[in-house]
Amino acid sequence: MNIMIVGCGKVGQTLAEQLNEDGNSITVIDSRADVVRDVSARLDVMGFVGNGATHTLQQEAGIEKTDLLIAVTGSDELNLLCCLIAKKAGNCQTIARVKNPAYSSETGYLKDELGLAMVINPEQAAAAEIARVLRFPSAIRIDTFAHGRVELFKYKIPEGSILAGMAVKDVVSKLSCDVLVCTVERGDESYIANGNFVFAEKDIISVIASPRNAFEFFRAMGYKNRTVKDVMVVGGGETAQYLCSILHRSGISVKIIEKDPKKCEALCEKYPEVDIIHGDAADQSILLEEGIRSAGAFVALTGIDEENIFLSLFAKSAGHAKVVTKIHRIAFDDVIKHLDLDSTIYPKNITADLILRYVRAMKNSEGGSMETLYSVIPGEVEAAEYTVDEDSPVTDIPLMTMKKKPDILIAAIIRGGKVLIPRGSDVILAGDRVVVVTRAKAIDGIADILL
């Protein structure tokens, strides 16, 4: 596919890299010449310097031959204008990033009236992911499939865990819970789990299960159902505002610490039910005075990665809160994963997953369409959900005899509203939703898993 990306910030560069790796033809536009030169040279893609919301530049960049335009500049209004011009000039599909909470209730209207394929809000998506993690504090991350019927959660095996020394094939029988271990991260290595793999302390595993069986798994681990009742948030930006709305509906009390007095006034007016504290959270005494030692959860949402990381490390040392850290720059991911943080949220990864899912669905997928896509281990392992068509070549074949490509795992089958954690004798039927975990790139349709 020919894809044009307007805006080469963090999200734009992530998209350009991942969509390019998927074999698409990428063109990037940005007003900063140095950024365009860097992205073009590093990824070997076409680059144009200037205002992507002008008809002249879009024509010069080839809008008439473009299948999809993605506008992810720092301005919501500019993104919408880019898409509007692209629809008129090239009659292509368009995706706009719109992050201002003021537009959150207008998403449907904007999409319909401007003919947008998607409206992406990274901050709102990040807030939703944070809220999911707070529901299961023992998990590092939770992704959902089949409208919440299936969950894929990450969990770090602590010292002294009953999982340490246990083989993957023994998990179901020894813990008496119907789950499937999908991946294991150990140090700098990652694996698609097989039955003979033996767990070790500090391994990070991803497990797929229904919500009820996920609860049974954690109970078997010795965790009580510790529900977060109060959350301390540092930073009062867009993500914090979306998170406030979600948590308030769940009956969770929220306290926000923000150093900008104007932001504090606006937050007080918009969220009267939330405790707004004017102060600099980098001053440890403020965190201690506001109850960091007894907080159920701590979420660092400032615009500075380093500050978020240090605040999170202090929160872990000061109390027993579930700690969530927002990270903007993927370049530090290799360093961050070695730190003792609980959950890290990457809004640009979330955005890239949503757009990648749409791009792959635009392609002609044989035997089934993609419904959901997540990056389980960024750049290494993906989990995707497909709906299986009547003529799919994967139907009616026992999984134990199915000739699949290497490093592909059939992780779950959803049939008639029921979740089936598949075993070797199970088969896939037409109409099923199937969750596939894979290392392979560009698995557009479920038929692509076959040799």
The pLDDT tens digits of the residues spanning 354-373 come to 888 788 777 655 555 778 88
What pTM, to 2 d.p., does this model score?
Answer: 0.84
Kindly report each contact of residues 183-191 with a partner whose C-beta sits within 8 Å and lies 24 or more positions away, as own/partner.
183/376, 183/377, 183/381, 183/437, 185/377, 188/334, 190/377, 190/380, 190/381
pLDDT recorded at residue 341 = 86
pLDDT, tens digit, for every residue of 78-109? Answer: 999 999 999 999 889 999 999 888 888 888 88
What's the distance, CA 4 to chain centroid? 22
Cβ-contact 149, 417 below 8 angstroms: yes
**Sign of the dihedral through C-alpha 173, 174, 176, 177:** negative
pLDDT recorded at residue 361 = 74
Q: What are the angstrom distances between the C-alpha of 309 and each of 297, 313, 335?
A: 15, 6, 11
Q: Angle at CA 360, nearest 5°, toward 117 and 73?
A: 50
Q: Which residues of the chain have pLDDT under 70?
A: 224-226, 330-333, 363-368, 440-442
Instruction: Supply the DSSP string of 180-201, one letter for each residue.
Output: EEEEEEETTEEEE--TT-B--T
Q: What are the angstrom distances between the C-alpha of 254 and each of 152, 275, 307, 359, 403?
A: 27, 7, 20, 37, 51
In angstroms, the CA 442 to CA 47 distance is: 24
> What length is written for the chain?
451
pLDDT recorded at residue 11 = 87
Q: What are the angstrom distances between the C-alpha of 300 and each of 155, 314, 327, 343, 438?
A: 20, 11, 9, 11, 31
Is 207 buried (19+), middle (13-18) or exposed (0-12) by CB count in 10 A? buried
* 385 backbone dihedrals φ, ψ, rounded to 5°: -110, 130
pLDDT recorded at residue 330 = 58
pLDDT recorded at residue 209 = 94
Give me the helices (H) in 327-386, please: 333-336, 347-362
Q: Which domains does the chain have, with CATH numbers?
A: 2-120 (3.40.50.720), 139-220 (3.30.70.1450), 230-345 (3.40.50.720), 356-449 (3.30.70.1450)
Cβ-contact 260, 280 below 8 angstroms: no
Amino acid, res. 271 = Y
Q: Angle at CA 357, nearest 5°, toward 351 and 361?
A: 150
pLDDT, tens digit, for every residue of 183-239? Answer: 999 988 899 988 899 999 999 999 999 999 998 898 888 876 667 899 999 999 999
In angstroms, the CA 103 to CA 116 distance is: 15
